[in-house]
Structure 1
Amino acid sequence: MRIVAGRWKGRVLKAPSSQDIRPTSDRLRESLFNILAHGHDIEINGARVLDLFAGTGALGLEALSRGASFALFVDEGAEARALIRENTQTLGAAGITRLFRRDATRLGPVAPFQPFTLVFADPPYGKGLGEKAIASARDGGWLAPDALIVVEERGDAEVAAPEGFEHIERREAGDSQIVFLRHRA
């Protein structure tokens, strides 16, 4: 696994040793960020990123490499948190990141943080956890008005936009799908 573009382009990320974490492939991350760069009215430069079910942190770190100003990684797993810590330290990103051990489907209030403009949710496939997590983020005030939410899910799973979200686009990517939603406060 490598950072695809930006200031850390080509830098290697530590990958999981177990099958419990399913990182987004370099190719899918490249496609995703190309879509973000050329549509959906989102500015990566300066974005505040919330990476839910963060795994290795690859999505948030890719955003930081491309100019995001801050990333908060949320994951309950011990292996995931260790990988995120190692990857942020390797890239020298400790000052622009935070890591929370928390259930992404029960975030609670956003304080002391400001709301986030770009959210990635890459939950375990087929359990409806992406929708629960973004609803939790909405309820806790984690989302800026018009925040863009990107949900990665198994290709044949139904991803329904919770109340307060507008479905923008769905893209197939091998056996996965990427769903883009907009928070409408």
Structure 2
Amino acid sequence: MRIISGLYKSRKIIAPKNLPVRPTTDMAKESLFNIINNLYYFDDISVLDLFAGTGNISYEFASRGTNNITCVDQDFGCIKFINQTAEAFYMPIQTIKIDVFKFLEKSTLQVNIIFADPPYNFSDVQFAKIPELIFQNNLLLEDGILIVEHSKHTDLSSLINFSYSKSYGGSVFSFFEIV
């Protein structure tokens, strides 16, 4: 994986092969950040990266100037890799090792952008629980968005506060907003 833009543009980050991850492709990530770039100033926002995996999305935010980034993942290897990478690049990324659903049930953190990249094989019930907990617990700031990455075989358009989706190859980003 590589960082698309910003301070660390073109830097390659190689994750250990034993991590249980499916990193967002460079093409999909570039398209996603083009959308976000039209909505926010990166240095003015806070980000919560759920099911953070390798930290790929968080590194992109940090490279573009975001200084308030929190990564949540339950896998120790993923958290360790994110911490090592963030330290090596002096990136302002905090990590929390916990099950994402437990985190969402207890958290009082409020951010501008929540990015969730759960396993593509999640059930409809598991996918639905993500926006449900986020909006129920007011984890987004007033101008905030939730972005859920999922397979093109999953349709999230019936979920609470769904706004629109964008498709890139086999991946889809579904956007949710406070209404």
Could you say which TM-score interval applies, normalised by the shorter chain?
0.7 to 0.9
Q: CA deviation at 1:64?
A: 1.6
Tell me what 2:29 maps to. Answer: 29
Which amino acid in the other structure matches residue 142 of structure 2?
P
For normalisation by structure 2, the TM-score amounts to 0.88
Q: Does 1:80 align with 2:75?
A: no
Q: CA deviation at 1:162?
A: 3.9
1:45 counterpart SS class = helix
Identity of counterpart residues, as a percentage? 28
Question: Does the 8 Å contact 1:122/1:151 carry over to 2?
Answer: yes
Question: Does the 8 Å contact 1:117/1:143 carry over to 2?
Answer: yes
CA 1:19–1:57 in structure 2 vs 1: closer, same or farther (change >3 Å)? closer
Q: Does 1:137 align with 2:118?
A: no
Q: CA deviation at 1:57?
A: 0.8
Q: Residues 154-173 of structure 1: matches in 2 within 5 Å?
A: 154-160=151-157, 162-163=159-160, 165=161, 167-173=162-168
Tell me what 1:179 maps to. Answer: 174
Structure 2 residue runs without a partner (length 5+): none
1:98 counterpart SS class = strand
Which amino acid in the other structure matches residue 135 of structure 1?
E
The RMSD of aligned alpha carbons is: 1.9
Give 1:103's match in structure 2, choosing from 90, 96, 99: 99
Question: Does the 8 Å contact 1:47/1:67 carry over to 2?
Answer: no
Of 130-139 and 148-157, more deviation after overlay is shown by 130-139
Question: Does the 8 Å contact 1:126/1:157 carry over to 2?
Answer: no
Q: Does 1:70 align with 2:68?
A: yes
Question: Does the 8 Å contact 1:14/1:86 carry over to 2?
Answer: no
Structure 1 residue runs without a partner (length 5+): none
2:83 counterpart SS class = helix
Greater percentage in helix: 2
Q: What is the CA–CA distance in structure 1 between the aligned matches of 2:81 and 2:178, rounded to whole Å?
A: 30
Q: What is the CA–CA distance in structure 1 between the aligned matches of 2:107 and 2:138, rounded to whole Å?
A: 6
Which amino acid in the other structure matches residue 26 of structure 1?
D
After superposition, the C-alpha distances for 1:34-74 in whole angstroms (9 at most, x for unaligned) are 12223xx3333321000000001111121121122210000
1:158 counterpart SS class = coil
CA 1:54–1:82 in structure 2 vs 1: closer, same or farther (change >3 Å)? same
Q: What is the CA–CA distance in structure 2 between the aligned matches of 1:133 and 1:140, rounded to whole Å?
A: 11
Tell me what 1:5 maps to. Answer: 5
Which amino acid in the other structure matches residue 7 of structure 2?
R
Q: What is the CA–CA distance in structure 1 between the aligned matches of 2:78 and 2:158, rounded to whole Å?
A: 27
CA 1:62–1:122 in structure 2 vs 1: closer, same or farther (change >3 Å)? same
Q: What is the CA–CA distance in structure 2 between the aligned matches of 1:124 and 1:11, rounded to whole Å?
A: 26
Which amino acid in the other structure matches residue 13 of structure 1?
I
Question: Does the 8 Å contact 1:14/1:87 carry over to 2?
Answer: no
